[in-house]
Structure formats: C-alpha cells, structure tokens
Structure 1
Amino acid sequence: MLLDEEGVPVVPVIKYFKYLDLTGKSNNTLKTYCYALKQYFTYLVELQKDYKEIGVKDLADFVGWLRNPFESGRVTPLRQVEAKRTEKSVNLIITVVTNLYDYLYRNQEIQNDMTDKLIRQVFRRGHVQYKGFLHHVDEGKPTNKNILKMKEPKRKPKALHKDEVEHIYQSTTNIRDRLLIQLLFESGLRIGEALSLFMEDFVFDHKNGHRIRLTDRGELENGAKLKTGARELHVSQGLMDLYDDYLYNVIDDLEIDTNFVFVKLRGKVSLALIP
C-alpha cells in the first residue's frame, strides 16, 4: 500500500494495485510497482502538482530527477557524477508510471490520454544483424516505443565459474545453505522456484533416476511462485544425499509443521524462507 506524506492511502494507486492483483500479478511485482510509484509521487510532492495535471515535459523532468544523485530537481551537480539509477531501472519506473496512467484513462479516472502522447510508432531501418524466427511476418511493420525510454547499454550476462560456486559452497555455515546453493547450481532453478519446493517434491528413485517434481501451486505464503511451468528435473545422487542429511540433521530436530523444504533456522523457524 502506498501512503502519502500524511499517512493517507493514495487512492488511484490503490485502485491500480487492486486491478493488478485481480489479474494475477505476483506480490513481488506489486512491491516493485509500489516502489516505482513511491518515487513518482515523491517527485509530484516536490513539483507541487497533482497527478492529473502532469504533461510530457513533467515526465521528462522526472527522468532527470530519477538520474539525479541528489534525487531533487532543485540541486544540480557542478561536476559530472554517477547517476543514481541505471538506465534499466529508470525505464522500469517510467513503464510503471505509464501503465498507471493508461489504467486511469481507460477507467475514465482522467481525461488525458498520456500513453498516446508518450508512445510513438517507429520503423526499423538499416541492416539488422539478428533476425527473429518470425522476422518475415513483422518486416515492414511499425513497433511502439516510449519516447522517454532511455537507451540501455549492452551488458554481458554474468555467470559464476565452477570454482567460484565451490568457494561460496565452502563458505556456508549450515547445511541448509549448502543444499540451496548446490540445488541452484545443479538444476538452474530460479530462487523463487527453489524456495517454493515442498518435501514431497524430492523423489528418490534409484531405478529411474532421482528427480525433483516442480508443481504449480500458485503463489505461496512466502511469496515464492513457479514461473516456468510444472516439470521434472533429474538430479544427482550427491544432491539427494545432501537433502537426506538436511532432513535428518535439521528438519527432524526442528519439529516444524510445514511442507516447505527451506525454512528459517532462527526466530520463527516454522516460517519458510522468503525470496
């Protein structure tokens, strides 16, 4: 929930979040959107404008506000300094704000179609080195582009080498973390998928191969969710041995009433780990 400076819920945002929740958006998505809109409404307070009075120039200034290391339109650095947010983070926030205005316009909450002013159609020009599988279908057709979107620098995906993973594995202080690290490394699961696993999802099968059964249970109480569909993954004997040791040395001693594999070891130990 987003509150204003007086502690009162921001009504248009509450309505928008209710719509997102009804359309199946995850809690993590709602948190990300809430943080983005918090930045926007903080900017509006400084600007002393209502969200209904905003124009394209105001949103363009908002992009500069987001990049300003002092997060203020009243302060301009005398020397070049590193931007507070990356281009990718700024684009995400602008997308959230644009979607909010699109929702409000479609529900006749505002009269100004901000999306129509921000989105323009562009045609691809010149030689494109990479062509998608359906390039011949979309060739010559325009695509929509937000005029406020910043160009994001290309970055190579970062990956850990096997020896780096081994170093992290050896640096852990408990068997739960060792199991989680080996599981992520061996299976390629997302962290949210790993933390959504139940004990019955680990299948011991010496004849046909040990495996993990990923089951779509929707969004769970710890916020974890299976995003890439139900499936089975074959895993090594070493991982299953580590899982067996974890059950014996940790889960059995805690006497917890939960099916989650990964749980807190301190405090309220019955609670599942949160992604």
Structure 2
Amino acid sequence: MLPPAARRESWTVLGNDGPVAPIERYLAYLTDIERSPNTVKAYAHDLKDWFLFLAGRGLDWREVRLEDVAGFIAWLRRPPAARTGSVAVLPSVEHHCGESTVNRKLSALSAFYQHAGRNGIDLGELLVTWQPAGRRGTGWKPFLHHISKGEPQARRTVALKAPRKLPRVLTVAEAQAILDACQRLRDGFLFALLWETGIRIGEALGLRHEDLQLVSE
C-alpha cells in the first residue's frame, strides 16, 4: 500500500484484528533503511505465510522451536488446499513450493528473528548457528575476507538442498530482439559484446581501450 503523504511504497500484513504488529514493525524497518519495494513485498508475503502457519497451530511467534520451523517447511510443501491437515496428500503430488522458494522464506524468517532479537525477543539460535572459521563449502569469499576469515561465520540452521540450475542460453532471435530494442549505440555494443564473447557483465565493464583489438574489414 502507499500512505497518502508518503513517497515510498510500503506493505502491510493484516490479521483478524488489523495489521500484524511484529511484521508491521519489521517491514517499517526495512522501508526506513531503504530496501527496495520488491524486497519489502517479498518479506511481507513470506512472513504472512509464517504467521498463518503459526495461527493454524495456535503457536506464539515468540516461543517457537526448531521443530516448528520443520513443520513450516512441510506445510509450505503441501498444496494450499491440504494445509489444514484435513486432506491427505499422496506421495505422487508435486510439492507446492520448490526448494529455492522454501529457502528464501527461511532466509526471511532468519532476518526477521535477528531483528526481533535486537529488540529483546531472544530465541537463541533458532534459525542461525555459527560454524568455525575456515569451513566454507564453496570457493566464494566475502568482501574483506582477509580481515574476518578468523572469526566464526553465521549460517542458517535449516535449509533444503536445492538442485543447481544452469542458466538458460538466449536464442538468436531473443538476442537480436534485445539488440533491436537498444536505443543507444553504447547499449547495443555492450549487449553485442556479451553475446559474442560470453564474458560477464563485470568483465565487460572493466575493459579498457587497450584490451580491444579492432580489426577493420
């Protein structure tokens, strides 16, 4: 929604008695630190699902356990019509939420509870735990890794293993459509360079004149 006197878009999650106060506070915090409207919208939807799950089981958001998070995952995976538990779900039924969607919602919960923890709602390490320094599962290194590499690293306690998806390659027609839509020669050159060479956007933007070997026909 967009308040009358505001210039920024914001979102509100409504319960039976009006706005859900803890979600409202967190979304207001995200808006104040200028997170994008799409990010705030995604958090609103994810937290709505969490509080809907808690309401269906009579749980207080301030007193949940790790088992409740596991129950939330199972709830998300069921079709919406079967989430009340009154309808049995056959094993052949496809999951409603994929692994990546579930992990995104768990990430939203983790951020929400970290914010709540800074405001006195301490649930310990419900969704975030700490692993010893130097035990990363990938080769990715964060900014200033050389400074923080000796400190424990935070990671989510619960996460589904999501299959890796390879990026889809544009067809010739799709690439040409992008080039045709470029109204500036600079933009057309950039997209043509990406398409012809396969380099990444960061590599393309980091090129210098001396890196180019121009051949005249």
Q: TM-score, normalised to structure 2's length?
A: 0.66
Q: Which of residues 38, 57, 70 is equivalent to 1:28?
A: 38
Alpha carbons of 1:37 and 1:125: their partners in 2 closer, same or farther (altered >3 Å)? Answer: closer
Q: Which of residues 94, 97, 112 is equivalent to 1:100?
A: 112
Q: After TM superposition, list the pairs within 5 Å mapping 1:251-270 onto structure 2.
A: none
Tell me which amino acid in the other structure corresponds to 2:154.
Answer: N
Alpha carbons of 1:30 and 1:52: their partners in 2 closer, same or farther (altered >3 Å)? Answer: same
Who is 1:219 aligned against? none
Alpha-carbon deviations, 1:179-219, whole Å to 9, x = none? x7843xx6xxxxxxxxxxxxxxx76xxxxxx446xxxxxxx
Looking at structure 1, the residues matched to 22 and 118 of structure 2 have their Cα atoms a distance apart, in angstroms, of 13
CA offset at residue 56 of structure 1? 1.2
Looking at structure 2, the residues matched to 95 and 51 of structure 1 have their Cα atoms a distance apart, in angstroms, of 16
C-alpha root-mean-square deviation of aligned residues, in Å?
Answer: 3.3
Who is 1:4 aligned against? 15
Contact 2:110–2:128 (CA under 8 A) maintained in structure 1:
no
* 1:25 match: secondary structure: coil
Tell me which amino acid in the other structure corresponds to 1:81.
Answer: V
1:83 aligns with 2:95: yes
Looking at structure 1, the residues matched to 31 and 140 of structure 2 have their Cα atoms a distance apart, in angstroms, of 33
Looking at structure 1, the residues matched to 16 and 29 of structure 2 have their Cα atoms a distance apart, in angstroms, of 24
Looking at structure 2, the residues matched to 91 and 139 of structure 1 have their Cα atoms a distance apart, in angstroms, of 25
Alpha carbons of 1:160 and 1:78: their partners in 2 closer, same or farther (altered >3 Å)? Answer: same
Q: After TM superposition, list the pairs within 5 Å mapping 1:122-161 onto structure 2.
A: 122=131, 131-132=139-140, 137=146, 143-161=153-171
Contact 2:13–2:44 (CA under 8 A) maintained in structure 1:
yes
Who is 1:53 aligned against? 63
Q: TM-score, normalised to structure 1's length?
A: 0.53
Who is 2:129 aligned against? 120
Q: Which of residues 74, 77, 83 is equivalent to 1:64?
A: 74
Alpha carbons of 1:73 and 1:139: their partners in 2 closer, same or farther (altered >3 Å)? Answer: farther
* 1:158 match: secondary structure: coil
Looking at structure 1, the residues matched to 50 and 23 of structure 2 have their Cα atoms a distance apart, in angstroms, of 11
* 1:43 match: secondary structure: helix
The number of aligned residues is 173
